[in-house]
Amino acid sequence: MSARLVVFISGSGTNLQAILNACESGRLDAEVVLVVSNRKDAYGLVRAEAAGVPTLYFPLKPYRDDGRGRAQYDAELAAQVASAAPELDLIVLAGWMHVLSAPFLDRFPDKVINLHPALPGTFAGTHAIERAYTAFQAGEIRQSGCMVHYVIPEVDAGPVIVRSIVPFRLDDTLADFEARMHAAEHHLIVEAIECSLSS
């Protein structure tokens, strides 16, 4: 039986597309059964709908606006996901721009992985690619990369599943480097899912 994947996105969904392609080609013995977004205009939702995958739009802002708080958001998000995708095997954060806390993670122990565009111990949090490029321009680093790790409440700090080094080139623009990073991410996220499902 194919593994059941839930993919969380906040943006264009290119990593989601890499996962969908791998499932379609048979590289992954899996299917994406739900795509979750915190942004209504995320193009990843369009990609999901084109592939016939159910979607869930679940914004944080209403919870912030009425004082319910992040813990309640995470708990209710977990309940929605569990209801929409029972017996899921893996949750893949592929460009999801919120940190998930214990009320979510405790519902899915050892089943949530995250793609982050930096190497372990470097550039945790947002804008990692831009921050790495700035460090390269300052002569502080010669390479960066991306990783996929199991999610814990601390930001980008969980056990690493796979990583990929992406060296800088002397004539790199930010756009050049970003394009190579995204290409590495598309390969790495599929590799990480394979590793997670086989472990």
Return the half-sphere exposure (C-beta side, CA atoms, 13 A cut-off) of residue 133. Answer: 16
| 116 classed as catalytic | yes
Comparing CA positions, the residue from 157, 185, 7 lying closest to residue 89 is 7
- Per-residue pLDDT tens digits for 57-92: 999 888 988 888 889 999 999 999 999 999 999 999
The second-level CATH assignment, the architecture, of 3-120+146-167+185-198 is 3-Layer(aba) Sandwich (3.40)
Compute the distance between CA of residue 90 and CA of residue 70 in angstroms, rounded to an integer: 22
Helix (H) or strand (E) run with residue 8 in it: strand 3-9
Which residue is catalytic, options 116, 149, 182, 187? 116
Q: Scanning the structure block, which residue is given the tokens 């890499």?
A: 18
pTM: 0.95
What is the reported pLDDT for 199? 78
User: Helix (H, G, I), strand (E, B), or coil: what is residue 176?
Assistant: helix
Q: Scanning the structure block, which residue is given the tokens 């680093």?
A: 141
What is the reported pLDDT for 1? 81
DSSP 8-state symbol, 52: T
DSSP 8-state symbol, 170: T
